[in-house]
Amino acid sequence: MTESTLAGKMAGAFRYRDFRFLMASIVGGSVVTWMRILGTSQWILDETGSAFLVALIGVVQLVVQIPITLWAGTLADHVDRKRLLNISHGITAATLIGLGLANASGILSPFFVYVGIAVTAATHMMASPAASAMIPVIIPGKDLILANSTDTALRNVAAIVGPLLFAAIATTLGITTVFFTAGSIALLAALSPMLIQAAGKAEKPEDQRQQSQLELTLEGLRYTAKHPILPGLFLLDAGITTASFYREILPVLALGLFAGGASATGMLGAANSTGAILGSFIAVLLVGFRAKGMMVLYASFAYGFFLFGFGLANTLLIGIIMIALLGAADAVTVTVRQTTVMLTTPDHMRGRAFALLVLAAQTANNVGTIWVGTWAGLIGASNTMVMGGVISVIMTALIWWWWKPIREYRSE
């Protein structure tokens, strides 16, 4: 397959009109998320000089996101998903603009930054299951791998733009302008779902009885727990991410590994996302590889070994290469997990299944932020990344040995 043909296949999902508007909202939201992550962590690090207070971001998000995600998944199955996206991004915009106004007035404190982090983390989780559940409504099953690869690539294009935009604005105009810019982009992300023509409400079985919010949530938990593949994939992702999550702690790692500031943080974040785009292309190249469970395991082993390289990097250039390879391996696993949920879950359960996928990932992200931030303060950034590589390889080996359905999973 030539490069131009591959690029054409990646762009093919855009022939679906609604996919274009959904991606506009997702990409805008991803840019905002990265600017918020890096902006708030950089503000705390600059104001306090404490890696432990940066790591506290994970605690704040963890407390907020667990209940919100379960609720968001249930809502995504029973209310208009497009409306959820509109409201979630709108609240994010108002919060970030508020942080910018407070910082400009000189009254912003770590407490209010943590409040802003809590609100925007909650709205991010409200939007995520709804956006993912809309993709198989818009895209036919035969093109879902293509759509998910495109989705992953575009999220990471946004994650390149986000860190670079953060670095450019933070180093020239300051963190206040970072908050204002992110809030403005969030407003645009809030408007795009209104242009989607496909139905925003899930199709429900005709015999489904009226259930309470709690009953619906428990139904989703039971469905996912009995699924032969999803729990193992969630556990694998959670175990690896908890030991190695580096994205929200990038300012600390840039300083600890390479003695860098906002500029190094932006370059590492952009390199990671560039690698993830490469991983999305790899997923398209491997679309004919039916053993998708083994693809996840191979990529997870690679991720663990690349962590060694990142932890042992002695120059920023080597660090950029290693973190790019980490992004590539991660993108392959993300694409396969998302497609597996879409292909094996009915529409009226999809929001809740995605909510649990997001919950597992985000909980691991937050615990991982605490873990990496704490260990980086105790034993240094390099040793922390090497330790994460060891744990990742061991965790992948255990899942490979223990979860037979993952080894045997074949896509059509």
Query: Three-state DSSP class for 113?
Result: helix
> What is residue 306's predicted lDDT score, i.e. its pLDDT?
93
Would you say 73 and 129 are in contact if contact means Cβ atoms under 8 Å apart?
yes
Looking at residue 228, the DSSP 8-state letter turns out to be: S
> What is residue 233's predicted lDDT score, i.e. its pLDDT?
84
Distance of CA 222 to the CA centre of its chain: 24
Looking at residue 12, the DSSP 8-state letter turns out to be: G
pTM comes to 0.68
Of 378, 305, 22, 400, the C-alpha closest to 189 is 22
Query: Three-state DSSP class for 51?
Result: helix
CA gap 24, 28 in Å, rounded: 6
> What is residue 10's predicted lDDT score, i.e. its pLDDT?
55
Would you say 353 and 230 are in contact if contact means Cβ atoms under 8 Å apart?
yes
CA gap 13, 114 in Å, rounded: 38
Cβ neighbours for 363, distance < 8 A, ≥ 6 positions apart:
62, 65, 66, 238
From residue 311, how far is each of 192, 276, 306, 320, 333 by CA, in Å? 40, 19, 9, 11, 21
Q: Which residue has the tokens 């490469």?
A: 278
> What is residue 4's predicted lDDT score, i.e. its pLDDT?
47
Q: For the stretch 195-207, what's the b/e string if a residue is b when 16 or more beta carbons lie within 10 angstroms of its beta carbon?
A: ebeeebbbeeeee
CA gap 303, 407 in Å, rounded: 18
CA gap 53, 249 in Å, rounded: 11
Would you say 231 and 225 are in contact if contact means Cβ atoms under 8 Å apart?
yes
> What is residue 2's predicted lDDT score, i.e. its pLDDT?
44
> What is residue 203's predicted lDDT score, i.e. its pLDDT?
65
Q: Domains of the chain, with CATH numbers? A: 17-197+213-408 (1.20.1250.20)
CA gap 404, 137 in Å, rounded: 30
Would you say 293 and 375 are in contact if contact means Cβ atoms under 8 Å apart?
no
> What is residue 157's predicted lDDT score, i.e. its pLDDT?
81
Which string of DSSP letters, residue by residue, matches 72-103? Answer: HHHHHHHS-HHHHHHHHHHHHHHHHHHHHHHH
Assigned token pair, 388? 């994460």
Which string of DSSP letters, residue by residue, matches 158-212? Answer: HHHHHHHHHHHHHHHT-HHHHHHHHHHHHHHHHHGGGG--S--SPP--TTPPP--
Determine phi and psi for 155, rounding to 5 degrees.
Answer: -60, -35
Burial environment of residue 3 by CB neighbours within 10 A (0 to 12, 13 to 18, 19 or more): exposed
Of 344, 351, 394, the C-alpha closest to 75 is 351
**Positions of the chain with pLDDT under 70:** 1-13, 141, 200, 202-217, 248, 287-288, 347, 411-412
Determine phi and psi for 185, rounding to 5 degrees.
Answer: -65, -35
Burial environment of residue 176 by CB neighbours within 10 A (0 to 12, 13 to 18, 19 or more): buried
